[in-house]
Amino acid sequence: MVRYIAGRLVALVAILFAVTIVTFALAQLSSADPAVQLAGDFPPEEVVQQLRKELGLDKPVPVQYALYVKGLLHGDFGRSYFSKQPISSELPDRIGATFELATAALAFSILIGIPIGIAAAVYRNSPVDHFGRFLALFGTAVPVFFLGLLMVRLFYTELGVLPASGRYSLEIPPPPTVTHSVIVDSVLAGDWRMLRSAMTHLVLPSLTLGLFGAGVIARVMRASMLDILNHDYIVMARVKGLTFRRIVLVHALRNAMLPALTVIGLTYGALLGGAVLTETVFSWPGLGLYGVRALTYLDFPAVMAVVILITFAYVVMNLVVDILYGVLDPRVRAGMNA
Amino acid sequence: MDAAGRLLEIEDLRVTFEVGGARYKAVDGVSFTIDDGEAVGLVGESGSGKSVTARSILGLTGARQLAGGAIRYRGTDLVPLGEPAWQRLRGREIALIPQNALAALNPLFTVGWQIAELFRVHEGASRSEARRRVVALMEQVGIPAAAKRFDSYPHEFSGGMRQRAVIAMAVALNPKLVIADEPTTALDVTMEAQVMDLLGDLRRERQMALIHITHDVELVASSVDRMIVMYAGRIVEAGPADDLYHLPAHPYTRALLESRPSLGDRRKGLLPTIPGAPPKISAIPSGCAFHPRCAHMRERCQRETPILRSPTSGRVAACHYSEEVLQLGEVHTTVSA
């Protein structure tokens, strides 16, 4: 198992390395001159030349790439053309915001999707099943931004029970930054007012995103549960005189979770890459918004940083899913140990 | 009939399957009884309805499929009582030894856990007590190093060990009736003999009744008290295993026996086979369902369905000409001991 994980981590580094080559090449193909971009409006030629030297742009391209990778290894993503600030100082807050949103959205997806998927399979063609089908269709077919607007209209404009934008109320002084997650930080600081504010701000965007994931997860869960319930070992469990409830929740669920796990992992990977539309609707200052802004301003160092982070999130989630497969399925575990 | 000794009574069981809007009879009016501790062989080719009959006894046929009949356990008809009644009986009173042990074991749980579950759920045994009893049981069914094997997963067991594990599961709660659905088909001959011995031993020790479902007359003939032969969803012959084995009253039973080689067989040349194939339930022949394949077929067999009657004492057969079949004499010149 340890050897398996170590092997996968080596592969992870290789993938990230490959991604840096691609993003670096793409940045080279663009006509934007980083020195001009960073020098400000109408810069004098000497300033541009000076910056070019500082950034190593006078060196051959392979050397520039080597310098870039060297910087990455030290956590240096370069400077943003847009803000002129080091990207590494801008990212942590963005990652924290996206991490909160993605995790809460995934929790909604699982809490809604798994039970509906199970119920739809067990009570096939019943109202629960029809509702599950509706939810899946609704969750995947309705654009997230539209669903988000509906949520805002209902819970903010009409009912006035939940805030509709931002991460927390700006009237409250933020807690000292420790983890870049406002929720975790306010717990650490014992700031319950801030915690409450951060939690209520999180509900609408994460529920919007979560409904999307819930639809997909419910469909996969239903299909895999239906498949599992036809297996001989389920008949055997009935023959053992077990209750239907126990058969479904103990004997079938663990087996049916395996395909759902893949979807859950990939959903989380995608969510961690930033949910552009949702973050836009709810002015959620996460990676998605950051990436869109970087693209709009041809802020290549920032774009490259976001791409690398998204890749990292995907690859890590894939690894986590594979490890969980091993935890759940002894046959897979045997393969990992071999 | 003495109610105390009567364990199971199947009366006029009818099971139908719906395929493409049409209903077909998989089991058509089957009746038989099982007494306490009795071993019965339920014999037939695939599609004869023997497995469907067994599934019905365990309440595994859906209400839509169960078209009629009564399944009485200790005198109580289970059919109108439905799922809750069966749930009380399964595992504790009636158990199943499945055909494919690998498929019948949940791949994600240890073998020990799956057997222990019976003690834990039905008898409220503690984890450690259940483990102790399972290890003893695994040893009894011949699984070596049982204490270690408890924590193994099904894929880590060999085919023979898996079959022993599902046998342990079936007998764990000392059920009164065990239904063994071709328990040895997946095994080689040596393993088959071992499993047959094990089944016999367990049955005697625990005084269980056994329904052994098989397509292999030879295999069960010496180990069961009675045999029931099914063809195309009906019983064609039933009687004491010995009598039926040596002197069948139905041409189908006779054909089954003649198509098996036996030790000391002095016949020369090709082994006789039954021509044709068993009918599909969507196209069961008129009259006697066996008539297209029967060596003794006459015109009457094509139009008139024979009913079960007793051509000789202790035997029932559904053939218009059973007496003539009996006149053909013993099938096996050498008696296998």
The predicted-structure confidence for A171-210, as pLDDT tens digits, reads as follows 888 888 888 898 999 999 989 999 999 999 999 999 999 9
Buried b (16+ CB within 10 A) or exposed e, B200-231: eebbeeeebbbbbbbebbebbbebbbbbbbbb
| Residue B203 belongs to domain with CATH number | 3.40.50.300
Residue B335: inside a domain, yes or no?
A: no
The tokens describing A248, both together, are: 């479904």
pLDDT value, residue A177: 87
A204 shares its domain with A318: yes
- Hey, is the C-beta of B120 within 8 angstroms of any chain A C-beta? no
Nearest to B87 among A231, A243, A254 (CB): A243
User: Are B215 and B249 in the same domain?
Assistant: no
Per-residue tokens: A327: 């935890």
Determine, for residues A330 and B108 on separate chains, whether the beta-carbon distance falls below 8 Å.
yes
Residues of A294-324 as b/e, b for ≥16 C-beta within 10 angstroms? Answer: beebebbbbbbbbbbbbbbbbbbbbbebbbb
State which residues form the domain around B108: 6-224
CA distance B288 to chain A (A): 34
- From chain B residues 62-91, the ones with a CB under 8 A of any chain A CB are 87-91
Residues A97 and A122 in one domain: yes
* Number of domains chain A is built from: 2
- pLDDT at B2 (0 to 100): 47
* Same-domain status, B220 and B288: no
Q: Chain B partners of A243 at a C-beta cutoff of 8 Å?
A: 87
What are the φ and ψ backbone dihedral angles of A155, each rounded to 5 degrees?
-85, -20
In chain A, whose CA is at the least distance from the CA of B104? A233
Same domain flag for B236 and B217: no
- pLDDT at residue B264 above 70? no
pLDDT at site B332: 61
Tokens representing B313 are 């004492």
CA angle B315/B311/B28 to nearest 5° reads 65
Residue B180 forms part of a structural domain: yes
Sorted by sequence, the CB contacts under 8 Å of residue A134 that are 6+ apart come out as none
Q: Which of B91, B100, B153 sits opposite A241 (nearest CB)?
A: B91
Please check whether residue A80 lies inside any domain of the structure: no
Same-domain status, A174 and A309: yes
Please check whether residues B192 and B62 belong to one and the same domain. Answer: yes
If we measure between CA atoms, which residue out of A101, A330, A311, A87 comes closest to residue A202? Answer: A101
Read off the pLDDT band of B333 (50, 70, 90): very low
Nearest of A282, A290, A296 to residue A310 by alpha carbon: A290
**Residue B124 Ramachandran class (φ > 0 left, ψ -120 to 50 alpha, else beta):** left
Q: Classify residue A83: in a domain, yes or no.
A: no
What pLDDT sits at residue B267?
A: 59
Residues A105 and A225 in one domain: yes
Structure tokens at A220: 């996969």
Rounded Cα distance, A333 and A338, in Å: 9
Q: Which residues of chain A have pLDDT under 50?
A: none
A165 with A216, same domain: the answer is yes
The tokens of B8 are what? Answer: 């199971």
Return the axis-axis angle of helices A253-272 and A300-328, rounded to nearest 10°: 170
Q: Are residues A35 and A169 in the same domain?
A: no
Domain finish residue from A73, A99, A127? A73
- Residue A12 sits in which domain range? 2-73
A238 within some domain: yes
Please tell me if residue B165 touches chain A, with a CB cutoff of 8 Å.
no
Burial label for B132, CB within 10 Å (0-12, 13-18, 19+), is: middle
8-state DSSP, B162: H
Based on the domain organization, do A106 and A165 belong to the same domain? Answer: yes
The answer to whether A221 touches A118, Cβ cutoff 8 Å, is yes
Q: Are residues B271 and B285 in the same domain?
A: yes
Q: Note whether A61 and A98 are same-domain residues.
A: no
- Are B115 and B217 part of one and the same domain? yes
**Distance, CA of B161 to CA of B184 (rounded, Å):** 12
Q: Do A237 and A189 share a structural domain?
A: yes
| Residues A61 and A210 occupy one common structural domain | no
Q: Does B98 touch chain A (CB under 8 A)?
A: yes
End-of-domain residue from the set A73, A106, A131 = A73
Kindly state whether residue B79 falls inside one of the protein's structural domains.
yes
Q: Check whether B1 has a pLDDT greater than 70.
A: no
A255/B87 CB distance under 8 A:
no
Per CB-CB distance under 8 Å, the chain B contacts of A125 are none
Q: Say if residue A152 is in the same domain as residue A198.
A: yes
Among B98, B105, B155, select the one facing A331 at the smallest CB separation.
B155
Q: Do A233 and B96 touch (CB under 8 A)?
A: no
Are B122 and A241 inside 8 Å of each other by CB?
yes
Q: Considering only alpha carbons, which residue of chain B is nearest residue A244?
A: B87
Task: Search chain B and give the residue with CA nearest A256.
Answer: B108
**B211-246 tens-digit pLDDT:** 999 988 888 988 999 999 999 999 999 999 999 999
B104, A330: Cβ pair inside 8 Å? no
Q: Are residues B246 and B293 in the same domain?
A: yes
Q: Are B244 and B171 in the same domain?
A: no
Helix, strand, coil % in chain B, rounded to nearest 5 = 35, 20, 45
Q: Are residues A164 and A17 in the same domain?
A: no
In a domain, B203, yes or no: yes
Instruction: Give the distance from residue B144's alpha carbon to the nearest chain A alpha carbon, in angstroms.
Output: 21
Let me know if residue A295 belongs to a domain. Answer: yes
3-state secondary structure of A258: helix
For residue B268, name the pLDDT band (cuts at 50, 70, 90).
Answer: low
Q: What integer pLDDT is reported at residue B335 of this predicted model?
A: 44
Residues of A in contact with B90 (CB under 8 A): 238-241
What are the contacts of B26-32 at 24+ separation with CB within 8 A? B26/B52, B26/B65, B26/B233, B26/B281, B27/B52, B27/B53, B27/B56, B27/B233, B28/B232, B28/B233, B28/B234, B29/B69, B29/B234, B30/B69, B30/B230, B30/B233, B30/B234, B30/B235, B31/B69, B31/B235, B32/B228, B32/B235, B32/B238
Among B224, B249, B281, the domain-final residue is B224
- The mean per-residue pLDDT over the stretch B167-189 comes to 92
In Å, the largest CA–CA distance within chain A is 86
Q: Cβ of A334 and B58 within 8 Å?
A: no
For B4-13, what is the mean pLDDT? 90
Contact assignment for B106 to A237 by CB distance below 8 Å: yes
Spatial separation of the C-alpha atoms in residues B28 and B68, rounded to whole Å: 9
Region of B69 please: left (phi>0), alpha (psi -120 to 50) or beta: left
Domain CATH for A182? 1.10.3720.10
Calpha distance B197→B203 (Å, rounded): 10
| pLDDT given for residue B336 in this prediction | 45
B303 φ/ψ angles, rounded to the nearest 5 degrees = -110, -30
For residues B162 and B271, membership in a common domain is answered with no
CA distances for B335 relative to B196, B247, B257, B261, B262, angstroms: 20, 12, 13, 12, 9
CB of B175 within 8 Å of a chain A CB? The answer is: no
Q: How many CB atoms lie within 10 A of CB A189?
A: 15
B155:A236 CB<8 A: no
Type of residue found at B305? T
| Domain limit, last residue, from B224, B258, B289 | B224
Residues B319 and B177 in one domain: no
Please state the rounded mean pLDDT for residues B54-78.
89
Q: Which of B195, B224, B253 is the last residue of a domain?
A: B224
Interface test mutation site (partner B, options A125, A236, A250, A254, max chain B beta carbons within 10 A): A236
pTM, rounded to two decimals: 0.84
User: Taking 70 as the threshold, does the pLDDT of residue B74 lie above it?
Assistant: yes
pLDDT higher at B1 or B283: B283
Same domain, B154 and B34: yes
Last residue of a domain, one of A23, A39, A73: A73
pLDDT, tens digit (0-9, with 9 covering 90-100), for A206-261: 999 998 889 889 999 999 999 999 999 999 999 999 999 999 999 999 999 999 99
Backbone angles phi, psi at B213, to 5 degrees: -90, 130
Q: Are residues B218 and B237 in the same domain?
A: no
Pairwise CB contact (< 8 Å): A232 & B153? no
Most B CBs within 10 Å: which of A230, A233, A249, as the mutation test of the B interface?
A: A233
